[in-house]
Amino acid sequence: MTDRPLVAVLDYGSGNVHSAVKALDAAGADARLSADRGLVMDADGLVVPGVGAFAAVMAALRGIRADELIDRRLAGGRAVLGICVGMQVLFERGVERGADTEGLGQWPGTVTELDAPVLPHIGWNTVQPDPGSRLFAGIEDERFYFVHSFAAARWELTPQPPLPSPRLTWCTYGTPFLAAVENGPLSATQFHPEKSGAAGIRLLSNWIGGLGRATL
């Protein structure tokens, strides 16, 4: 038997991390909740969860210098997956209830409040995956579980050849917003795969299956 890929779930004080660890284990990973810098850097994959406010998540990440770890992993082409607010903080900025907060800046753009009649967006929704998506292979028509009031409504990164174009998956709640991004070693979902039943486990399995492959 081959070893299960080691996936670190970043432990920086975010809630609901244990369900993410269980879902990753079910999807085929050896998942470990950790803030140990060596383990976070050496793991085959890193998951950055996120629950709550953009500013609070950024403060907690910077508090353990996780911004540096994420930068270093991505510079080496090593896989990172952001979930919910863990996706939002990958953008340059978040504007939330009057607070304008600098994000990790991996992608250009600003996370803003959804333009929808009822907030938050809670529950199951369909998505429109990019035709070349690896994350959504075999689950293109499934529904996923969302809990959020903020999202990125635009994609502003211009691909630079020879790098491939990012794979963008959209969802509509009031207006369209980014539900998932696959950009080289960096992937993210606005929904919670760990709360999305069999489809979420399959998505995590798809991500785990790509660990160790060339991403650039």
The domain 6-209: what is its CATH number? 3.40.50.880
Provide the pLDDT for residue 113.
98
Q: What angle do CA 19, 23, 28 make, to 5 degrees?
A: 150
Q: Is the pTM of this model over 0.75?
A: yes
CA–CA gap between residue 11 and residue 163 (Å, rounded): 31
Of the candidates 117, 164, 173, 166, the one whose C-alpha atom is nearest the C-alpha of residue 145 is: 173
Helix (H/G/I), strand (E/B), else coil: 53? coil
The predicted pLDDT at position 215 comes to 42
Give the residue ranges of the chain where pLDDT is below 50: 1, 214-216
Segment 19-42, tens digit of pLDDT: 999 999 999 999 999 999 999 999
Return the domain boundaries, the chain.
6-209
Active site residues: 84, 192, 194
Q: What is the pLDDT of residue 213?
A: 52
